[in-house]
Amino acid sequence: MPESTAVPPPRPLHGLRVLELGQVLAGPFCGALLAWFGAEVIKVEPPGGGDPLRTWRHIEDGTSLWWYILGRNKKSITADLRQDARSDVVIENFRPGRMEAWGMGPDDIAALNPRTILARVSGYGQTGPYAPKPGYASVAEGYGGLRYVTGYPDRPPARANLSLGDSIAGLHAALGILTAVYHRDVNGGAGQVVDVAIVEGIFNLMESMVPEFASAGIVRERHGSKVSGIVPSSTYPCGDGKYIIIGGNGDSIFKRLMRVVGRADLAEDPRVARNDGRVTHEAEIDAAIEAWTAARPFAAWPTRSPIRTSRRAACSRRWSSQRARR
- Which residues are the active-site residues? 166
In one-letter notation, the amino acid at residue 150 is T
b/e code 258-289 from CB counts within 10 Å (16+ = b): bebbebeebbebeebeebeebbebbeebbebb
Confirm if 33 and 104 have CB atoms less than 8 A apart.
no
Give the contacts of 81 (CB within 8 A, at least 6 positions apart): 21, 44, 102, 104
List, in sequence order, the alpha helices (H) in 25-149: 26-36, 65-71, 98-101, 106-112, 137-144
Which residues, in sequence order, are bridge partners of residue 235? 245
Give the whole-angstrom CA distance, residue 104 versus residue 95.
13
Nearest to 164 by CA among 179, 149, 177: 149
